[in-house]
């Protein structure tokens, strides 16, 4: 029987069939538009027809001082936007998660929900609500500061070049701090009790337990959160647009890549949109994000130690 | 909800309209517009007035949402389903339609002679040879003030710069009112209500604007920097935290009676009349020295053109001639105080504030905003940059000279004046 040749394997159609819906949908709504954008960035509208111009749009973007100044300004602002998120949002997220997972905390479910709620709010609501809160005329911020005798600290943050971007970053942190909190919270809960008990037997408790046992175990989650923050920040647009408008004032100090792209692509007021230059900017955003994700995947993720229980 | 109602209304009118065609063999004209707010004015006042004089022509006003208008109109024109009459945006958006052959040349239309060259400039080819829309309305810039506050403090309406600042100082010293309601958060307030409001007095209206287009003057010339120097002086008179004050904030500050002077556009009149509980007056941008010629920004905003593919061109031209007549101007200007007819024949208006605004046309010279015609085309866009720089100057983050230089550099990068 052993010598009998095995019947030829039938073609496994079911694999293709089961993959098809996802592949088709993903191709249609993600890959094709992406390819379309990349293609658009290589063309230019000359006398009502699209002409292939190679990398000329990119040369304009980086060579023409008017475009390149705008681009580098937007990129710089975007990096600052990201730094604030990494330095404020994620540590606070970890801290909140650590507090929430403490067994002695009462009303943990309530806090968890309350902190997470802003995440599901629309950008438009968040933008307008904060604009009102910080309004020097009708806002509660000057009044509240007055109550504690710190009225002198109040300035119209959203209208000052030096503060506007930081203020907006912090608003965004307020809105999204729920996401790292939830992810880290889930990671903390998944640490088996045996590990914690073993640590306690070895006399590691309290803060030392957090630093030496829990933190290394949640590092992969922190990595994932960092990369999510990176992608989210470099794609950001909505908050700036609702709070500061498409010109991202004052003096472009809150202009990030998203708003820069918007103005180039769709135009604004008298400025007529230029889809080709817009696509060139979109391509640069894609490359920046791709680069960042690659750095993470190949340099950081592979070095993170994983623990199997 | 409103959209649904509007759609229902439109459906209703269009069915009725076509019914009219079927039974009475009337000609039906459709008007494309973005002014949904004006629907009742057209339906109840303007169209009946026209139809009474022109039996056999029916007119249907069919607006779409302002944000969708340009795209929807473009699609309809391509598909050949657009209305006979097209409401024109000023400058390039309509010019492009004309160049594509969507709008007919109306230079020879009877009634066109009722308009001045400035009024027609928004709907002309760059060389001024062809006019393709009938000018309907413009908005005028100036200052609206709280009359009660002025009376209480004993301030005379300022006519010169010196009086203007004296008035501001007096209001500031008194402390009851914020001298001037303006913010820089939304940027355009600083440019439109600031720079374009007071500027014409310095660059001498049309003279300077044309010279700028021809390349004979530059934005860095004294005439163009001077208005920025004035704007820089406004800072101490604005409310606390004006850097984060938005346009609706400014409107509210003024209508609540907390501010004394509001740098305005005449489109505010209707809203202010319903909201403000005090008497209001208006004055034109103050001149530098008593006796100087005054210039005002009388900016063309809305016009009406003929769809080149219209099958009822003759009836449509009849309608457009009526739009160019003083009859139309009287009804329109009274129904929409603050949107002034561009007709040469003076229009009698009921609203005192609107009367005040329009009376300046008699004593001052009119011009339009400097950044719109031709200069508003390229990238970096002069109009948008003017928003940013005007706000910078008021915030004190840019000097007037630096702001002017940035604008001129941006303009130079793409605009080569015809030699």
> What CA–CA distance (Å, rounded) separates B134 from B29?
16
Q: What is the mean pLDDT of residues B196-212?
A: 93
Whether B377 and A269 lie within 8 Å, measured CB to CB: no
- Pick A62-303's CATH classification: 3.40.50.2300, 1.10.3720.10, 1.20.1260.10, 3.40.50.10800: 1.10.3720.10
The residues spanned by each domain of chain A are 62-303
By the 8 A CB rule, do B93 and B265 touch?
A: no
Q: What is the per-residue pLDDT for B6? A: 52
- Residue A134 at interface with chain B, using a CB cutoff of 8 Å: yes
Looking at residue A253, its pLDDT comes to: 94
Beta strands A49-52; A43-46: pairing state: antiparallel
pLDDT for residue B419: 55
Taking CB atoms and an 8 Å limit, are A245 and B187 in contact across chains?
A: yes
Residue-range domains of chain B with CATH: 2-136+300-348 (3.40.190.10), 140-298+368-412 (3.40.190.10)
CA pair distance A132, A110, nearest whole angstrom: 26
**Range B88-102 burial, b when 16+ CB lie within 10 A, else e:** bbbbbebbebbeeeb
Closest residue in A to B414 (Cα) is A66
pLDDT digits (tens, 9 = 90+) for B76-123: 888 888 999 999 988 888 888 898 889 999 999 998 998 988 888 889
CB contacts of A274 in chain B (<8 Å) are 379
Which pLDDT value is given to residue B403?
94
Preceding peptide of B386 cis, ω within 30°: no
* Averaged pLDDT, B225-242: 93
Contact B376, B213 (CB under 8 A): no
CB contact under 8 A, B395 and A135: no
What would the pLDDT profile of B52-85 be if each residue is shown by its tens digit? 999 889 999 998 887 778 878 888 888 888 999 9
3-class DSSP state for residue A99? helix
Q: Can you give the pTM of this predicted structure?
A: 0.83
> Which of B221, B141, B152 lies closest to B188, judged by CA?
B141
Task: Give the separation between CA A279 and CA A40, rounded to whole angstroms.
Answer: 6
Q: Which helix (H) or strand (E) holds B197?
A: helix B196-198
Alpha-carbon span B136 to B332, nearest angstrom: 9
| pLDDT value, residue A11 | 85
Name the residue facing A160 among B243, B371, B383 (closest C-beta).
B243
C-alpha distance from A250 to closest chain B C-alpha (Å): 7
Alpha carbons B295 and B298: distance in angstroms, whole number: 9
- Among the residue ranges A188-192, A285-289, B34-38, B412-416, the one predicted with the least confidence is B34-38
CA distance B248 to B203: 30
Q: What band does B15 get if pLDDT is binned at 50, 70 and 90?
A: very low
User: How confident is the prediction along chain A (309 residues), in pLDDT tens digits per residue?
Assistant: 455 566 778 888 889 999 999 999 999 999 999 999 999 999 998 877 888 998 999 999 999 888 999 999 999 999 999 999 999 999 999 999 999 988 888 898 899 999 999 999 998 999 999 999 999 888 888 888 888 888 888 889 999 999 999 999 999 999 999 999 999 999 999 999 899 899 999 988 888 988 888 998 898 899 999 999 999 999 999 999 999 988 888 999 999 999 999 999 888 877 778 889 999 999 999 999 999 999 998 888 787 766 665
The count of other CB atoms within 10 Å of the CB of residue A111 is 15
Helices and strands of chain A, counted as H and E runs? 16, 4
Contact present, B200 and B223 (Cβ < 8 Å): no
pLDDT attached to residue B20:
41
Which tokens in the block code for residue A246? 């498409």
């Amino acid at each position: 029987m052993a010598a009998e040749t095995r019947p030829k394997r039938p073609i496994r159609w079911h694999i293709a069939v089961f993959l098809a819906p996802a592949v088709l949908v993903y191709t249609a709504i993600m890959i094709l538009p992406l390819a379309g954008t990349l293609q658009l960035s290589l063309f230019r509208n000359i006398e009502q027809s699209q002409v292939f111009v190679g990398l000329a749009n990119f040369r304009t973007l980086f060579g023409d001082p008017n475009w390149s100044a705008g681009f580098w300004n937007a990129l710089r602002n975007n990096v600052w936007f990201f730094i604030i998120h990494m330095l404020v949002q994620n540590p606070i997220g970890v801290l909140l998660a650590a507090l929430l997972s403490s067994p002695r905390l009462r009303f943990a479910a309530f806090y968890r929900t309350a902190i997470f709620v802003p995440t599901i709010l629309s950008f438009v609501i968040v933008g307008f609500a904060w604009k009102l809160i910080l309004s020097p005329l009708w806002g509660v911020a000057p009044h509240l500061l007055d109550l504690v005798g710190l009225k002198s600290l109040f300035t119209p943050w959203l209208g000052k070049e030096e503060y506007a971007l930081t203020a907006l970053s912090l608003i965004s942190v307020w809105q999204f701090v729920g996401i790292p909190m939830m992810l880290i919270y889930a990671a903390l809960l998944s640490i088996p009790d045996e590990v914690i008990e073993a640590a306690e037997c070895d006399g590691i408790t309290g803060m030392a337990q957090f630093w030496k046992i829990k933190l290394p175990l949640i590092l992969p989650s922190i990595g994932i959160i960092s990369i999510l923050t990176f992608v989210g920040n470099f794609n950001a647009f909505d908050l700036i647009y609702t709070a500061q408008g498409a010109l991202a004032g004052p003096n472009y100090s809150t202009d990030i890549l998203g708003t820069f792209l918007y103005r180039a692509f769709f135009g604004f007021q008298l400025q007529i949109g230029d889809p080709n230059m817009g696509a060139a900017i979109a391509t640069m955003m894609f490359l920046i994000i791709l680069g960042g994700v690659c750095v993470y995947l190949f340099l950081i993720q592979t070095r993170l130690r994983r623990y199997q229980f | 909800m409103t959209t649904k109602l509007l759609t229902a209304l439109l459906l209703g009118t269009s069915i009725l309209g076509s019914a009219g065609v079927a039974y009475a063999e009337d000609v039906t004209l459709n008007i494309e517009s973005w002014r949904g707010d004006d629907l009742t004015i057209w339906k109840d006042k303007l169209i009946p007035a026209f139809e009474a004089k022109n039996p056999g022509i029916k007119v249907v006003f069919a607006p779409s949402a302002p944000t969708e208008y340009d795209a929807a109109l473009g699609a309809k024109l391509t598909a050949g389903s657009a209305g006979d009459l097209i409401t024109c945006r000023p400058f390039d958006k309509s010019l492009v339609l004309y160049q594509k052959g969507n709008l007919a040349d109306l230079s020879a239309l009877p009634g066109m002679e009722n308009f001045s060259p400035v009024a027609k400039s928004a709907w002309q080819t760059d060389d001024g040879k062809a006019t393709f829309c009938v000018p309907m309305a413009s908005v005028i810039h100036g200052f609206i003030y709280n009359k009660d506050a002025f009376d209480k403090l004993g301030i005379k309406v300022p006519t010169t710069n010196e009086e203007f600042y004296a008035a501001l100082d007096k209001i500031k010293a008194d402390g009851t009112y914020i001298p001037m309601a303006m913010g820089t958060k939304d940027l355009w307030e600083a440019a439109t209500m600031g720079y374009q409001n007071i500027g014409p007095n310095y660059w001498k209206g049309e003279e300077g604007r044309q010279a700028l287009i021809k390349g004979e003057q530059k934005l860095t010339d004294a005439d163009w920097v001077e208005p920025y120097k004035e704007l820089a002086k406004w800072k101490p008179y604005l409310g606390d935290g004006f850097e984060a004050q938005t346009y609706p904030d400014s409107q509210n500050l003024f209508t609540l009676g907390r501010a004394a002077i509001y740098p305005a556009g005449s489109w505010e009149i209707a809203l202010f009349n319903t909201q403000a509980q005090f008497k209001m007056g208006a004055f034109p941008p103050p001149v530098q020295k008593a006796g100087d010629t005054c210039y005002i920004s009388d900016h063309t905003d809305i016009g009406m053109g003929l769809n080149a593919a219209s099958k009822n061109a003759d009836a449509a031209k009849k309608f457009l001639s009526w739009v160019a007549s003083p009859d139309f101007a009287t009804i329109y200007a009274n129904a929409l105080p603050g949107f002034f007819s561009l007709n040469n024949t003076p229009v009698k208006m009921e609203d005192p504030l609107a009367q005040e605004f329009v009376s300046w046309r008699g004593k001052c010279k009119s011009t339009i905003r400097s950044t719109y015609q031709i200069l508003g085309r390229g990238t970096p866009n002069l109009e948008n940059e003017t928003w940013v720089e005007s706000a910078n100057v008021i915030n004190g983050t840019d000097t007037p000279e630096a702001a002017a230089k940035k604008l001129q550099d941006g303009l130079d990068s793409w605009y080569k004046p015809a030699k």
